[in-house]
């Protein structure tokens, strides 16, 4: 049997700072979500650079500041980023 490349490793979650998500139009939000889901379906880790979001980080902010001080939310659902999705919730016995 021939070896095949295994597809996978893509994530569908799209997280951005809440202030940026609120300033985006519905079409812009949908474009980013579609790009990320398309990449995940192909097994890619990152979405296309054509769907990059401008102005999400304040000028002069370090990368650590950006991650720690912003309120990150899931673009598709509006819930806080890092919250478990409904698919992964399981009942504990």
Q: Is residue 65 included in any domain, yes or no?
A: yes
Instruction: Report the pLDDT value the prediction gives residue 14, as an integer from 0 to 100.
Output: 87
Between CA 20 and CA 53 the distance in angstroms is 9
Between CA 75 and CA 10 the distance in angstroms is 17
Q: Is residue 3 included in any domain, yes or no?
A: no
Q: Is residue 19 included in any domain, yes or no?
A: yes
pLDDT in tens, the chain (93 residues): 666 665 555 677 888 889 889 999 999 999 999 988 888 888 777 777 777 777 777 777 787 877 788 888 999 998 998 766 555 555 555
Q: Is residue 72 included in any domain, yes or no?
A: yes
Is pTM beyond 0.85 here?
no
- Total tally of structural domains belonging to the chain: 1
User: Which range of residues forms the domain containing residue 19?
Assistant: 13-43+61-83
Instruction: Look at residues 57, 92, 78, 32 and name the one whose alpha carbon lies nearest to residue 12.
Output: 32
Instruction: Report the pLDDT value the prediction gives residue 25, as an integer from 0 to 100.
Output: 93
Instruction: Report the pLDDT value the prediction gives residue 10, as an integer from 0 to 100.
Output: 64
Dump the DSSP string for 11-80.
----EEEHHHHHHS-HHHHHHHHHHHHHHHHHT-SS--GGG--TT-S-TT--HHHHHHHS-EEETTT-SB
Q: Is residue 1 included in any domain, yes or no?
A: no
């Amino acid at each position: 049997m021939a070896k095949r490349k295994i597809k996978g490793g893509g994530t569908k979650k799209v997280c951005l700072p809440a202030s940026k998500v609120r300033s985006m139009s519905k079409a812009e939000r949908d474009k980013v979500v579609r790009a990320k889901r398309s990449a995940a379906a192909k097994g890619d880790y990152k979405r296309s650079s054509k769907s990059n979001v401008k102005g999400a980080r304040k000028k002069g902010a370090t990368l650590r500041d950006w991650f720690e001080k912003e309120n990150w939310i899931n673009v598709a659902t509006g819930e806080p980023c890092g919250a478990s999705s409904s698919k992964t919730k399981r009942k504990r016995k």
